[in-house]
Amino acid sequence: MRPRERRILDLVAAEPIRTQGQLVRALRVAGLRVSQATVSRDIKRLGLVKVPAQNGRARYLPPAEAAAISPDAAGRLARAFREYAVEVDEGSGLVLVKTTTGSADTVAEAIDEVRWAEVAGTVAGDNTILIVPRTPADRPTLRRRLTALLG
């Protein structure tokens, strides 16, 4: 493990790191020059998971700690959808999920965690998630599953 990755794990264990930008700033304070892109790759490599905190805001945790908090990925997805998702739509072969401002990453992470066979991957913006179905035939099934979570 790289020293920077060890430092990232120490930081997310010590304080609630909620965004990549916040992690970049914390690493810089610790004397490490990093970009947001580097931190994004480190987060993926380390498998950090964004989980809801007590105050309702999400924070990064290592996968083992996140699983210990809530081992039920389907339950996390249902809760994330109830709390943050606004609409499910589709376009050009992709499924779209609209969320409240600033929560798309939390919902996308919950989608990734359930590891549905129909999902090749997700990309989250601020309030929109693009979900790439594994095949074109998977799109209707995926949209139905996500729409059902809206309630």
Q: DSSP string of 26-56?
A: HHHHTT----HHHHHHHHHHHT-EEEE-TTS
Q: Are residues 126 and 146 in the same domain?
A: yes
Residues 90 and 132 in one domain: yes
Q: Which structural domain, as residue segments, surrounds residue 21?
A: 3-68
Question: Are residues 145 and 86 both part of a single domain?
Answer: yes
Q: Measuring CA to CA, which residue among 76, 58, 65 is closest to residue 114?
A: 76
**One domain, residues 92 and 145:** yes
pTM: 0.56
Per residue of the chain (151 residues), give pLDDT as tens.
889 999 999 999 888 898 999 999 999 999 999 999 999 999 988 888 887 665 567 788 887 676 555 557 778 888 999 999 999 999 999 999 999 999 999 999 999 888 787 889 999 999 999 999 989 999 998 999 899 998 7
| Residue 98's CATH number | 3.30.1360.40
pLDDT (0 to 100) of residue 83: 93
| pLDDT, position 93 | 93
- CATH number, domain containing residue 52: 1.10.10.10
**Statement to judge: residues 57 and 96 lie in one domain:** no
pLDDT the model gives residue 67? 59
Does one domain contain both 37 and 9?
yes
φ/ψ (deg, to 5) at 48: -60, 145
Which two structure tokens, joined as six digits, stand for 55?
A: 């105050």
Contacts of 45 (CB under 8 A, 6+ apart): 5
Q: Are residues 44 and 90 in the same domain?
A: no
Give the model's pLDDT for residue 68.
58
Whether residues 91 and 63 fall in one domain: no
Query: How many domains does one find in the chain?
Result: 2
What does the alpha-carbon distance between residue 87 and residue 84 come to, in Å, rounded to a whole number?
10
